[in-house]
Structure 1
Amino acid sequence: MRSLRTAPAAVSLLVSLALLAAAVLAAPLEPRLAHKHRSLASAAVSASNVSDAAMPAGNVSDAALRAVSAKRINARFGRDKLVRGVNLGGWFLLEAWETPHVFLTSDIERQQLSDEWAWMGAKGARAKPDLVAHYNSYYTEQDFAEMAQAGLNTVRIPLPFWTFVPTVSPEPYLVNRQRAALRRALGWSLKHGLDVVLDLHALPGNINGQDNGGRLGQQDWAKDPKNLDRSIAALQNMVELYVNNASYGGVVKAIQVANEPRINAQLSLPFLGAYHKRALAAVRNAVSPTALVRPTTMFSDAFQDVTKYNYMFPQGDFPPQQLVVDKHFYFVKQWDRSLPDNDEELLRHVCAIGPRLRKAHAVRPVVVGEFSLGRTTRCVDYHDCKGRTIAHDLPSLNSKSNNLFMRRFAEAQLATYEQAGGWIMWTWKTDAAAAWSYQAARNQGWLPSDVSDPTQRLYTPAPGSATDQRCVSEQPSRAPRFAMQS
């Protein structure tokens, strides 16, 4: 997400997949790759030392693999069904505002740490065991079950490059140790019917200069060709490990090649476009003939307007059926001073986005891969949130008027983004930022209990009644219920 520190078709197939889900969860661990197919991908895998104790055993028979691989389909992510999802932020890539508790352990709580790079240095010998413990505990199967119960159908999993390729000096990151928890996440996703976007969120050298790129203030990705090579290798290994292995049941529906590139003096649109073209070829060429699904390649629009998409993604180089564009929206006044202060004006502003998204989506798929209900930041100085929880944050947001606005604001965003390919909220949970947590917002009543049930949308305008570019009505169809109200 944009940094809070700066402004920046058969029943048999379904049965087969269900059995595969069980295999993922039950399989013993085995240090091998399931498939090595093309010399390019094999070389990348070898170079990254991906021998991995977190791989499934691949205990599906060859005959079963042949039968299911014959049914391989293009994922068409963002096309065939509305995406309704959440990001799993704060898990495999640390951001202090999301998980202050990770930065406030007794050994480092007196320090001011800006990012995972600094955290690794401060923790010293405790970095590895503490980070692995975080990977193993922060998300559990209960989270995935709750996501499915909430009517969600997708998770976007932000991942750093060091999950897939070695670091180079002086990079301090913990290499490969995310994979055991990631393996479980894919199994839980398959079990609970959630599609997966694997998002290469942090690239070598940092593509945006934000803490979500690994090191705040560094934007050196485009300065060294080796950074691009390592990025491509990371994508190839991602595909080899989690797309080509049939034990994951084809749960990965999209591969995102970068998150929020920052266009400035360090990175031009043409340079980014050249990487995008190379990444598209790398991802598609890395998919094995035995893969169950060919995932869609997902590209950030780098916060560019939809009017630039024809320039950024010319159809000759980027066939629309092979890609989806990732658009992010945040309505935070600290980041965009032009945003309306008035609630009604802000809702009209949100609703006015819908027709433009719909027009862009008609040419090439667009999914809003990040948004939130937050209008202000939280825990920017994470020390301010020591010991705080969602329960501490809610009293500042749960007045009667704000509860009603938050429900309308949420429904306005959902209605707007559903005019394109759908949405993925940032994030499922946080320590103490209620408006940035889907889980907290749902529990409070700002979001429907089951977002897939249209009868739970309380502010859908009656046919013919919408005016002033409103996508939500002024009054609810019935009184909302909120868990807490001050």
Structure 2
Amino acid sequence: MLGQTSVFTLLSLAGLSKAWFPSQERASLFNISASIANPSDRRWLPSSGKIRGVNLGSLFVFEPWIASNTWSSMCGDANSEFDCVMSLGQDAANTAFQNHWGSWITESDFNEMANYGINTVRIPLGYWMKEDLVYSDSEYFPQGGVEYLKQVCGWASDRGFYIILDHHGAPGAQVANNPFTGQYASTPGFYESWQFDRAEEFLVWLTEMAHSTDEMRNVGMIEVVNEPLQGENDQTNYMRSDFYPNAYSKIRAKESDLGIGSNDLLHIQFMSSYWGSGNPNEYLDDLWFCAYDDHRYLKWDSSVAVSKDSYISTSCDDNRLAEWPSIVGEWSISVPDDVEWTDNWNPNSNTDFYSNWFAAQVKSYEQYTDGWVFWTWKTELGDYRWGYKDAVEAGIIPTSLDGIGEDVCSNY
């Protein structure tokens, strides 16, 4: 017998099949098939039927490893945005980061993405973009980002892209020693009720902007927190039992205050149970327009043998659907550090493998989930395995993605 939660889930998901994108008006921006004559039959998904996206890594949350030259010229040897701002001082840091925001991703990037068949962007953000959340006596982050966020969202919306706003850097840092949180914290300080309160305020602020700002009209999803601690422990249990339901209810309360209809709500995204922080639905009473994020890096999966055949065979039938609807929101074609520049894995001499591996992953992620978002659009690594733009230019990723992977996986 189905329990109460399961019955509600089935009813909710029936609605989700129609309302994956946020509204009929926004759906009409997508490349809808010309064969659909009746406007009421317009699909809510892109014409491909799947999310095909890229992350805008190191735009609003700068990870030095992605663009070390730019970072060094801005911040020297600082470990994170927090350290950089503290070192430069607020005014100098604001100037440096605003110059970066205005040049790292430009309108021409969106033209390229559209030409390459991309229909989605995931934008990593830090809570510090809402500047009144920052403790002026103890926290150091660049200021002025919100207008650049609106500009980027406007470029994406004008081209009919779906937009995911990803809460990438949480108050106090959700993991230790990682600049993707905005600070190189020795311990994760996020898992406290007062930090949850700040994160919830940030998410509600994003929600209001998404519904009231024209440039952000194609924002359809907000991720409550990126890559929290793994393992089922006191911290992750507290996050799932307190932060998750409160974030969900506060976002929905703001949408209710704004008069948003039930089929025009934002999707609220959680890391899927495959991430390893526990069942995201365990403490949620309502699953309406929930969505889930899976990150799949075989580079760090010790259970998969490090061989070309192993990687392609794994990727050809890689069912990453733990909860529905799910998106593989981060992945790459990078291999383990200790082999990545050896003869057998060098990207310059193994182009056929990397092209086939990309195709195999796309095939599975589109077969089993609602699509994928590659990490990342642009890098300074000189290594196409992390950069979608570089991989297209190198001939690794085709500009036409339809039917990709079927021929590769037919032998596996």
Shorter-chain TM-score category? 0.7 to 0.9
The secondary structure found in structure 1 opposite 2:235 is coil
Deviation at 1:282, TM superposition (A): 1.3
Instruction: Answer 1 or 2: higher relative contact order, Cα 8 Å, separation at least 6.
Output: 1
1:368 aligns with 2:328: yes
1:135 aligns with 2:101: yes
Q: Does the Cα contact within 8 Å between 1:159 and 1:199 map onto a contact in 2?
A: yes
The secondary structure found in structure 2 opposite 1:294 is coil
State the distance in 2 between where 1:259 and 1:191 align: 27
Deviation at 1:113, TM superposition (A): 2.3
State the distance in 2 between where 1:328 and 1:342 align: 21
Q: What's 2:159 paired with?
A: 192
Per the normalisation by structure 2, the TM-score is: 0.79
Deviation at 1:316, TM superposition (A): 6.1
The letter for the 2-side match of 1:327 is D
Deviation by residue 1:324-357 (Cα, 9 ceiling, x = unmatched): 110001121xx34443121101222223422xx3
State the distance in 1 between where 2:284 and 2:157 align: 34
Superposed, 1:91-110 pairs within 5 Å as 91-105=59-73, 109=76
Which consecutive residues of structure 1, in runs of 5 or more, have no partner in the other structure?
1-8, 19-70, 379-394, 462-470, 476-486
Q: What's 1:216 paired with?
A: 184
Deviation by residue 1:136-185 (Cα, 9 ceiling, x = unmatched): 1111111111111111111000000011242113111124x111111111
Deviation by residue 1:197-228 (Cα, 9 ceiling, x = unmatched): 01111110011222101122444434532211
Superposed, 1:398-413 pairs within 5 Å as 398-399=348-349, 402-413=350-361
Aligned length in residues: 362
State the distance in 2 between where 1:249 and 1:205 align: 27
Choose the corresponding residue for 1:160, options 100, 122, 126: 126
The secondary structure found in structure 1 opposite 2:222 is strand
Q: Does the Cα contact within 8 Å between 1:205 and 1:227 map onto a contact in 2?
A: yes
Deviation at 1:407, TM superposition (A): 0.8
Deviation by residue 1:241-280 (Cα, 9 ceiling, x = unmatched): 22233x2363111011100001356722343342111111
Deviation by residue 1:49-82 (Cα, 9 ceiling, x = unmatched): xxxxxxxxxxxxxxxxxxxxxx9xxx9889x931
State the distance in 2 between where 1:163 and 1:346 align: 38
Q: Does the Cα contact within 8 Å between 2:265 and 2:289 map onto a contact in 1?
A: no
Q: What's 1:472 paired with?
A: 409
State the distance in 1 between where 2:284 and 2:208 align: 27
Q: Does the Cα contact within 8 Å between 2:240 and 2:283 map onto a contact in 1?
A: no
Q: What's 1:60 paired with?
A: none
Per the normalisation by structure 1, the TM-score is: 0.68
Taking a change above 3 Å as real, the CA distance of residues 301 and 273 of structure 1, as seen in their structure-2 partners, is farther
User: Rg bigger for which structure?
Assistant: 1
Choose the corresponding residue for 1:289, options 246, 256, 259: 259
Superposed, 1:358-437 pairs within 5 Å as 358=321, 360-361=322-323, 364-376=324-336, 396-399=346-349, 402-418=350-366, 419-432=368-381, 433-437=383-387
Deviation at 1:127, TM superposition (A): 1.1
Q: What's 1:344 paired with?
A: 309
State the distance in 2 between where 1:190 and 1:103 align: 29
The letter for the 2-side match of 1:204 is P
State the distance in 2 between where 1:186 and 1:243 align: 13
State the distance in 2 between where 1:284 and 1:375 align: 40
Taking a change above 3 Å as real, the CA distance of residues 243 and 229 of structure 1, as seen in their structure-2 partners, is same
State the distance in 1 between where 2:194 and 2:208 align: 21
The letter for the 2-side match of 1:195 is Y
Deviation by residue 1:405-443 (Cα, 9 ceiling, x = unmatched): 001110111011112111001100001232100111111
State the distance in 1 between where 2:157 and 2:133 align: 28
The secondary structure found in structure 1 opposite 2:141 is coil
Choose the corresponding residue for 2:394, options 437, 444, 452: 444
State the distance in 2 between where 1:89 and 1:345 align: 28
The letter for the 2-side match of 1:460 is E
Q: What's 2:3 paired with?
A: none
The letter for the 1-side match of 2:333 is L
State the distance in 1 between where 2:376 and 2:85 align: 23
Taking a change above 3 Å as real, the CA distance of residues 138 and 414 of structure 1, as seen in their structure-2 partners, is same
Q: What's 1:299 paired with?
A: 270
Q: Does the Cα contact within 8 Å between 2:270 and 2:280 map onto a contact in 1?
A: no
Q: What's 2:193 paired with?
A: 225
Taking a change above 3 Å as real, the CA distance of residues 190 and 197 of structure 1, as seen in their structure-2 partners, is same
